[in-house]
Chains A and B, each alone.
Chain A
Amino acid sequence: MPFLVNQLPKGPYYGILAEFATPTDLYHACERVRDEGFTKWDAHTPFPVHGLEKAMGIRRSPLPWIVLVAGLSGAAGGFGLQWWVHASAYPLVISGKPYFSWPAFIPITFELGVLFAAFGAVLGMLALNRLPMHHHPLFRSKVFERVTDDAFFISIESWDPRFDPSATGKLLTSLGARSVELLESSE
């Protein structure tokens, strides 16, 4: 398939975007781009393709550590709050139990641990992904609209040390890309 530059960008390049027909094509193309030594690049799929992060050489997400810290803080804070309330701030004898009757504090400790961990998971995921980001040069591409439907892409950014508009485009075409386009930078 020919290397299609549908329009020559006026400004500086954001990078190059190549569309692939199937997850299999994308998978093998990713392995190749990884092995070529590119670092500033990404693949885009409508659904998580199994094993693609390995084909791209992406490390495991550090998210579980964020969740662990958030969850433990929630649990510790919850337990501390109950302790402080019942043993210090507002000591009352209730059903003859000691002020610091810790077994009765476990359910709320658990619930607050889960609550904080869940917020840690969601906010941590968004932070690691740099989301929300409503503007991105990729959204300028018309074909890219199908990334949330049935199209599979590789994007290589122009500031990758190995990037070369012509050679990189030819590489992607040789890997079976259905179409290849150069994208203008945002500003």
Chain B
Amino acid sequence: MAQTEAELLDNPVEGNPTLILRSPDFHSITEVVAEAVERPTPIGWWFFFIPAVALLGLLGVAVSWLFWEGIGIWGLNIPVGWAWDITNFVFWVGIGHAGTLISAILFLFRQKWRTSINRSAEAMTIFAVMCALLFPSIHVGRVWVMYWVFPIPNQMGVWPNFRSPLLWDVFAVSVYGTVSVLFWYVGLIPDLATMRDRAKTRVRKLVYGFFALGWRGSVRNWNHYESAYLVLAALATPLVLSVHSVVSMDFAVSLLPGWHTTIFPPYFVAGAIFSGFAMVVTLMVICRTAFRLEHIITLRHFDYMAKIMLVTGSMVGYAYSTEFFTSWYSGNPYEFFTFMNRALGPYAWAYWIMISCNVISPQIFWFKKARTSIPILFASSIVINIGMWFERFVIIVTSLHRDFLPSAWGYFRPTIWDVSCLLGSFGLFFTMFCLFVRFLPMVATSEVKTVLPQADPHGHAGAERESRHHHGRRLSPEPAPGSAS
């Protein structure tokens, strides 16, 4: 099997590359994806689900205690008023970006390889945005007045400040979450109909049937459906770029050395895609093995994702050096101090973890052997996500901890509750992901079928009839004007 895959990757194919191995028919695609949901819960699933739920419980405890006691239970102080809470927020919202990149941007660029992984990558996006939204919400301290961020008419006659990047963030992230759910659901409708039509039990028939909305694969429906999908992709593309740009403006619009730079929006977007692809790789390595989807999620897919990680990792590395150069070239002593302090000060350990994980480690993907080796990919994806978490930590904490006056210098140390909230957010993420792979088709079968050669009515399967076409003996004359319905 591995041999075949390697051979396939080595052959530069003219025309369409083979995206799905073992040349399956349409039914076997349905079978392998739907069967993963329909069979009794495998034991292995519990090995992921139980620890995930345990961590989710930890999150519940940590958040309850936080609500009771206040954000003083975290290691926050003055000058470090933002620390792990906002680090986690930026980390999670960044993870989500790869899902949208795969589902929307690669769709617009007609990158057909996305079909094997887009469903689970979009699910990842939604769960990551859930984790992301958690942190700014709980970090406000008085969560019961959270609704003040929304423009709701109220008895106080008070409105939010729409000129603040923090409010832009509220809108950007919540719109992003909503649009991601819509996009994901629209993509799911045909597959939910598949689950409905295969259902053996009444509960399944009713639940999948309800959400499938009575989909019957009508071409007149597909016509509007494909239009909607294209429009959603076209909307999600600028949206995803705007989201992390707005997140970066939380920092860039402030006047703090280390934050106040115009490079932030593109730099944050590149970092977001970088970490998001790493998370997709982590999840896909587990899923393809656990659910025997090696022929649908192939080494070719990993090869492409590794290339994207190499590119975005290098872009992030370039941004790190540009930041440093600018801080020196600006001639601003505060700016230069902040960067020297980042690399050589008390948080130098975090800075160098960031550099090694994000800039040095992805360079291994220059080699095809690394891009097609599952163990290397898996290890790198985790290393990259550690690095990207540290990137946000470095940006936030090192810029804050040495204020303009040395008398206001401090050092941030996480408490057990900081750690619990971070681990707990992973619990939330993996609980949701486990439920997703258990109850929903994790591969977009209606999209994967379109990349099979026999799906093309003018392809090899239709070669015989087509040749008749080309010899002028058409089956039918041109449509008469007005015959269109």
Contacts and interface: CB of A to CB of B under 8 A. Distances in A.
Interface string A133-145: 1111011000011
B42 interface: no
B484 A46 contact: no
Give chain A's interface residue range (CB within 8 Å of chain B).
Answer: 35 or more
A24 B193 CA distance: 23
A94 interface: yes
B406 interface: no
Interface stretch (B15-23, B328-336, B455-463): B455-463
B219 A49 contact: yes
B190 A111 contact: no
A175 B209 CA distance: 32
Contacts of B197: 145-149
Given A63-B228, A108-B171, A148-B197, A48 B450 contact: yes
Contact of B454 (A23, A118, A131): A23
Nearest to B30: A149
A12 interface: no
Nearest to A115: B175
Contacts of A149: 26-27, 30, 194, 197-198
Interface of B is mostly: helix
Given A117-B231, A122-B186, A57 B178 contact: no
B319 interface: no
Interface in A140-165: 144-150, 153
Interface of A: 22-24, 26-28, 30-32, 34-35, 37, 39-53, 55-61, 63-64, 67, 71, 81-82, 85-86, 89-90, 92, 94-95, 97, 101, 104-105, 107-108, 110-112, 114-115, 117-119, 121-122, 124-126, 128-129, 131-136, 138-139, 144-150, 153
Interface of B: 25-27, 30, 151, 157-163, 165, 167-168, 171-172, 175, 178-179, 182-183, 185-186, 190-191, 193-194, 196-198, 209-210, 213-228, 231-232, 235-236, 238-239, 242, 246, 249, 445-447, 449-450, 454-459, 461-462, 465, 475-477, 479-480, 483-485
Interface pairs A-B: 8 shortest CB-CB:
A24-B462, A57-B484, A150-B26, A125-B228, A27-B457, A61-B227, A132-B213, A104-B163
